[in-house]
Chain A
Amino acid sequence: MNRPFVPWLLLALALALAAIYLFPLYWMYVTSLKTGSEIFANPPSFWPAAPDPSIYPNTWVRRTMGTFLWNSVVIASGVTAITVILGTGCAYVLARYRSAWIDIGLFAILMLQVLPASVMITPLFVGFNQIGLLNWPRTAVVLAAAAKSMPFFVVLVRATFMSVPRELEEAALVDGNSRVGAFFSIVLPLARNGILVCAILTFMSSFGEYIYSKSIIQDTALQPASVGLSGFLGPNSTDWNSIMAYSAIYVTPILAVFVLLQRRIVSGLTSGALK
């Protein structure tokens, strides 16, 4: 393993793999810069004949993307907040004990998520209507989507808590702390990294929430970017290039954040490995 060229060989291989993997992303950007008929040209061109970047500002303005993206941020923040507040405590308890009941609890949390959102939406809509929650559509979507992201969060954060040594919490209890005190002053700070990372992941995946928003939020001014995108993916989709431009604007910021943060994400999660 001490041959000096091996790491560089691995690097070359890594770059090649990354190129293959990222090709769909590249294709999104290229397609956004092509003209309407160039998109359907056969064979396809790998580089647009006359790239026109003005499509980005145009799409941004014409599709009022500012409003849509803001709503996405609001919804994703709400989902993350609820998931973290409810999920953290639940994960802590599920990590603290080992018994058949804990297994059943975990199993139930996973099982409650088996049905796809597309078949959950009708009962949720009817229920929200009964309690008048449809008047606050974004809140309704946040509640529904938080229930969807919960199991993922609980499973990951539970692993983080498992890596916090039991002895530390017990020592704090011996020192006269209450359970509540020990939880907030000892256990939570130790698991902070893992929770933070899972929160970021929850935020990012709920940024793309689509099915619930589409049915529950009727007012265009309150809809997230995913619904805004689907609004012009209809049967007579005319401008595929601006659809791709929209997609590019939609995903590029979160991609950038993600790539910048990825090292911390992995190390944050490894501090409490999945057990």
Chain B
Amino acid sequence: MKLRTLGLMAGIALGALGMAVPAMAQTVIKVWSIDGANAPGVGDTLSKEFNDANTDIQIDYRIIQFDDIVNEALRAFATGNAPDIISLDNPDFALFSSRGAFLDITDRVAASSVIKTDNYFEGPLNSVMWDGKLYGVPKYTDTIALFYNKDLFEKAGIAEPPKTWGELVDTAAKLTDPSTNTYGITFSARAGEEGTFQFLPWIQMAGGGYENVNVPGAVEALDYWKAMVDSKSASQDVLSLGQWDSTGTFNSGNAAMAVSGPWELDRMVEDAKFDWGVALLPTQTEGGPRSSALGGFNYGIFANSKNPDEAFKVLEFFISQDERLFPDFSSLPARNDIALPETGIALKDAALKVFQEQLQYAQPRGPHPEWQKISKAIYDAMQAALTGQMSAKDALDQAQATIQGIVG
């Protein structure tokens, strides 16, 4: 206790030193996000603009790496050092909201003229809700679809991108050409969230879900994936490549199709020396139910923020700039009231239309406070089956048993 007092006094002394400069009382709002590490992003740019335009509230912005942000937040929260606002990947959100670590902003949003829940897509909005209450606001969203190399399709005499799982496997096999180091397809089945992100939609298309992963269609889907890896239509390295590196092989012409999302578009426009297009993810049967993964980030205000009113003002400012998300940062707003302007790049505009359609079928992961454990059960099963250690059925049955223990 004594030590704590000492530390506190030291902190006050330091704080006093810092306060000595500006005479006016100023509220500092701490904001954490992953934006701005490699290129200017939403969080860093908007924070800077906010600071330039305001004097009474100032944002103290901190970039944290994607892999660390949840850990850092947990540790900071436990020791009373949490920021005021944080932006998290949507499946991580429930870890905090379910435990009341985020501020319940239901009433504030209801009274707000900037943030209106009606404007949001259902999936993203669900990921910030817990128990009927609103704990955050979606920041932006994304999803995955099928990229395909039109030149290679033409060369192989294939007119259209595959529509069903069976067609996908056949098409991939036809496009595979070891003599030119070309695989038919690439995706990411790595041991991490990205693996679940890519595989869960297939379970959902088959009528399953994260709490119900061993439906017959999911087993079929996993067998299809395994068939593509076994027949070398897909590189075995899909098991360790992330989506970005995996799509890199598509851009260099070493894969004829790739499963990935709109974050690839700018690089693809630049790097890909061929004609390409995007198609919706193939379904189990022709015209069958569609699904896709729901990516994207959410904002939340920590419950122990000392200045919740000011923090909410900052949040309103961020949301008020949503129109710029796409033109300035190439991110898709999670809202139905913002039309995306044409970019003038034909390939990109065509691709965006497909992604926006795909987005309508996107389903959130969770929300569940122990999502990461559910996710590990899913990607472990996927990997065990793809490497032939277990049959698809056994692997998914085991995952189901694990998940059952988590969701109860």
A129 within 8 A of partner (CB): yes
B7 A37 Cβ-Cβ under 8 A: no
Measured CB to CB, the closest approach of chain B to A196, in angstroms, equals: 36
Using CB atoms, name the residue of chain A closest to B264. A236
User: How far apart sit A95 and B206, CA to CA, in the bound complex (Å)?
Assistant: 69
A211-225, CB < 8 A from B:
214-215, 218, 220
A181 within 8 A of partner (CB): no
Measured CB to CB, the closest approach of chain A to B265, in angstroms, equals: 13
B6 within 8 A of partner (CB): yes
Please pick, from A129, A130, A131, A231, the residue contacting B65 in the complex, using a CB distance under 8 A: A231
B38 A132 Cβ-Cβ under 8 A: no
B81 within 8 A of partner (CB): yes
| A218 proximity list for chain B (CB < 8 A) | 62
B81 A214 Cβ-Cβ under 8 A: no
A220 B11 Cβ-Cβ under 8 A: no
Evaluate whether A135 and B10 lie within 8 angstroms (CB atoms) in the complex, with A218-B62, A234-B67 already known.
yes
| B244 proximity list for chain A (CB < 8 A) | 235-238
Counting residue pairs across A and B whose Cβ atoms lie within 8 Å, the total is 77
- Indicate with 1 or 0, residue by residue over A6-49, a CB within 8 angstroms of chain B CB atoms: 00000000000000000000000000000011001111000000
Most B C-beta atoms less than 10 A away, residue of A130, A131, A234, A239: A234
User: How far apart sit A220 and B252, CA to CA, in the bound complex (Å)?
Assistant: 35
B43 within 8 A of partner (CB): no
A235 B252 Cβ-Cβ under 8 A: no
- Give the 5 A-B CB pairs with smallest separation, nearest first: A132-B7, A129-B79, A42-B181, A37-B252, A236-B244
A residues sitting closer than 8 Å to B (CB atoms) are 36-37, 40-43, 122, 125-126, 129-135, 214-215, 218, 220, 230-232, 234-239
Other A-B pairs, 12, CB within 8 Å; known A125-B79, A215-B68: A36-B248, A37-B248, A42-B181, A126-B78, A126-B79, A130-B4, A132-B7, A132-B11, A134-B81, A135-B10, A231-B63, A234-B65
B residues sitting closer than 8 Å to A (CB atoms) are 3-4, 6-8, 10-11, 14, 34, 37-38, 62-63, 65-68, 71-72, 75, 78-81, 181, 194, 242-245, 248-249, 251-252, 254, 263, 267, 271
